[in-house]
Structure 1
Amino acid sequence: MLKNIKLILPIMFLSIGLFGCQQNNNEKVDNEPSNTQTLETKAEVIEEDFVYRLVIENAEYSKNEPIKIYAELEYTGDKEEIEIFHSASPFSFPMVETTRNYEIGYGMNEPLLSTKLIKGEPLREEYRGSGGYGSQDKKEYIEFMKQIMNQEFPKGHYVVNGIADFGVIANEETGQKKKYKIKAKVEFSVNDSN
């Protein structure tokens, strides 16, 4: 009888453990916004003498409707103007589609360019598209990315993880540079109908 109990107990604990794991694997991850959750469509981050804004014009779009996102960088310091150094653009718009958990990259050329910011006049740039895929990616992912690359967003919940990435010369005499990487987040959803 004691042998049977010694054999039954480990099997029972193993069954409970596997059942517990099974339950956790079937739980839906709460990446989707609830119907009562308000989507953040505007974000503003102040870092020292710079204000970074990330804006999406609507919280909800219809399937394949053009998505309007833009970023702004404003200088608010003591000088009349300041020169910033950046890649092809100081702005990038990487996203995550949370329903499918797909990352939508934002590639960019990386020359070293400069732009003058005039105090109180925001530099503004609109989102122009993103995404990409490789030959080893799954068919569903490739089809999704092809739509994104054509700026035809499928139904889903999207989070834009915007970045303003640039540098300035912090000390004119020494040429010492200071790097900024200011981040903000906005989100939107795409539905089947208007």
Structure 2
Amino acid sequence: MKNCFLLFALLLNLFIAGCSSPENINSNELKKLEMKKTTDQTIEDDFIFRLVSEKAEYQEGEEVNLYGEILYIGKKDEVIIHHSASVISFSAREEIRGYDIDYAVSEIGASTTLKKLGYPYRSGYDKGSVIKSPFDDNTEDYEKFIEELLEGDGFPLGYYTVKGIADFSAETEGDAEKGAYKMEATIEFKVVD
């Protein structure tokens, strides 16, 4: 009797694990999800940081167009900002599977001149900068997901949130640093079949 109970418990656990596998995304339920925030912006002092997904819904295999941009809206004609290799970095999460998609940014120091409103600094999301999350258990499913992400033209089927961070310091007319900025914005999109 005890062996039957153990066998039943083992089969039940395998059944539950199989049904809740993060790779089993219900495509019909995914299509019903409404994406509410494909654009977000933050304003701080003389700067606007904007994060944009050109669409709320992409088809599996379709290129996903995401970008962040910084606009200078101050009184001067231009301002110099100092930053790492890129002013803008991205982190993404596939919410149904719970997978984090980290983004590497080189710490190389650089400077960019921003002209007054109308000439934004723009940086697009680059899948070539994606790295495996050091915080995930890096399960076999996660490894397959990252491989599919990096090898395909678009993103795998799923519901994604993306956080963009603009991290820089600013100076005006060669003066000492005016201040450090770490501006954040978050958007969402989904990929359906």
Shift of 1:138: 1.3
Rounded to whole Å, the distance in 2 between the matches of 1:33 and 1:47 is 35
Shift of 1:176: 4.2
Structure 2 alignment gaps of length 5 or more: 1-19, 21-28
Query: Which residue number corresponds to residue 116 of structure 1?
Result: 113
Tell me: CA distance 1:148–1:162, structure 2 relative to 1, closer, same or farther (3 Å).
same
The answer to whether the aligner puts 1:94 opposite 2:57 as a matched pair is: no
- Spell out the pairing of 1:52-71 with structure 2 (5 A cutoff): 52-71=49-68
TM-score, length basis structure 2? 0.75
Structure 1 alignment gaps of length 5 or more: 1-25, 27-31
Structure 1 segments of 4+ aligned residues over 6 angstroms from their partners: none
Which one of the candidate residues 33, 37, 58 is aligned to 1:40? 37
Query: Which residue number corresponds to residue 124 of structure 2?
Result: 126
Rounded to whole Å, the distance in 1 between the matches of 2:30 and 2:178 is 41
Rounded to whole Å, the distance in 1 between the matches of 2:96 and 2:68 is 25
TM-score, length basis structure 1? 0.75
Contact kept, 8 Å, 1:131 with 1:148, in 2: the verdict is no
Residues 176-185 or 45-54, more deviating: 176-185
- Can you list the C-alpha shifts for 1:58-94, whole angstroms capped at 9, x where unaligned? 1011112100011110000111100000111001111
RMSD between superposed Cα atoms in Å: 2.3
Shift of 1:34: 8.9
Rounded to whole Å, the distance in 1 between the matches of 2:131 and 2:33 is 33
- Can you list the C-alpha shifts for 1:88-126, whole angstroms capped at 9, x where unaligned? 100111101100011100101111100000001111121
Q: Which has the larger radius of gyration?
A: 1
